[in-house]
Structure 1
Amino acid sequence: MCVPPRWDDEALTALGVNGFGGAADPRVITALAGDGGRIDSLDLVVAARGRPGPQRLLVPRPDLDRHPRAQLAASWRDELQVLGLADSADVIVTCGRGLGGLAEIGFELAPEVRGGGLIGAVLEATTHLVCPGEVLLASASPGNVASVRALLAVGFAPIGSVQLFSPRGVDA
């Protein structure tokens, strides 16, 4: 568990952190974030390996930097790239250094293009954004069944969960 230095093992154990599910207890995250802290949702973390060869679907989209998905990603990740389709703002993909310094993607499709199979091609393209064999992470709320299924369908596999938080006044 990655926490501010003021939290030692004894204090974490007293909160109920136990190496199983205790770290995700809302009381634990609330205590760690403190009054006014920022708490993100509990997400499933999935991983895939980078695939060889270029992808031609996603292009840099600096015009989408102010999109809420890009702003959220920028608050949690470093070295962020914002990508999308060349001719449409209906798809946004972010790729940066996230959990553990590993490459991590985020994605969103506009409601009007969901359900048509586009997400599979988009997610497959993301596996070409990193070097072949490099670990690529993504996260999704377990309740977001469409995203979880799409990630699994292109070869991402569950590896754990994460709940990001930031104490008040501390940038994520």
Structure 2
Amino acid sequence: MSDQALSELLRRAAEGDPPPPDGGVSVLPQGAEATPAVLAFTAHHVVVADVPEEWVRARLPADDLSAPLNPPFLTALCAATGRAVNNIDAVLVATGPAVAPELGLTPADDRTHERVRRAEDFRTDIRVWTCPGGLVLLGRGVGGRWEVAAEVDPGFRGKGLGRALFAAARALAPQGVPVWAQVAPGNAASLRAVLAAGYRPVGAEVLLK
């Protein structure tokens, strides 16, 4: 039931109906999720982990909206789950029809690329496409959602290929499903590319590896 609750929460967020900005914290069991996570929306957080709800609330100051993504709580959650913080990412989503740019993308079976290996730590059902100078992949991540990652070779950067790869992912995904992107806030180039490809900010999140 918790897995369905998380999937439904994400579906509604993709449609523009995130959790209410009430300063609250929702706690969901990890269930079938591969990794514990903390999801942040505007003035509402969701903790997905196999820890008691009382444990979570006892470690979060009631008057600090940012506490679930701050080091004290994340350190405690890592200790309780035996995991480590991977990264705190900005989360974006794209919905609606999309047309794939003409990039000459070719399905690839290569699982040795570093970007693909990193994706396998957090995603299933990974599909990879390559083109001259770039790679894009889709996989099932948090709550079963479809997530995109892209890589542009150094010699091809600054020419719009990243934006085109993120746009292509929207057309490559199963018809009608939202496509999600997680971007490190400091990676300004990727953030600009994702925004330019039609993705909109939804919140932030951290996965525990």
- On whether the aligned pair clears a TM of 0.5, the verdict is yes
Runs of 4+ in structure 1 off by over 6 angstroms are none
Residue 26 of structure 1 pairs with residue 71 of structure 2: yes
- Indicate the residue corresponding to 1:8 in structure 2: 52
Deviation by residue 1:13-65 (Cα, 9 ceiling, x = unmatched): 222276832211122222222286232110000000252566653221212x1
CA shift in 2, pair 1:17/1:109, >3 Å: farther
SS in 1 for 2:171: coil
> 2: CA distance between counterparts of 1:33 and 1:17?
18
Give the aligned residue type for 1:143: G
Give the aligned residue type for 1:33: C
Deviation by residue 1:128-154 (Cα, 9 ceiling, x = unmatched): 012443211001011111111111111
- Indicate the residue corresponding to 1:73 in structure 2: 119
> 1: CA distance between counterparts of 2:100 and 2:188?
29
Q: Once superposed, what is the RMSD of the aligned Cα atoms?
A: 2.2
Give the aligned residue type for 1:47: V
Give the aligned residue type for 2:195: L
Which runs of 5 or more residues in structure 2 are unaligned? 1-45
Give the aligned residue type for 1:44: A
Deviation at 1:109, TM superposition (A): 1.0
- Of residues 69, 85, 88, the one that matches 1:39 is 85
Which runs of 5 or more residues in structure 1 are unaligned? 167-172
Identical amino acids, percent of aligned pairs:
32
| Segment of structure 1 superposing worse, 11-20 or 137-146 | 11-20
CA shift in 2, pair 1:123/1:54, >3 Å: closer
> 2: CA distance between counterparts of 1:108 and 1:21?
31
| Segment of structure 1 superposing worse, 14-23 or 113-122 | 14-23
When the two structures are superposed, what TM-score results if normalisation uses the length of structure 1? 0.83
| Segment of structure 1 superposing worse, 140-149 or 50-59 | 50-59
| Segment of structure 1 superposing worse, 19-28 or 119-128 | 19-28
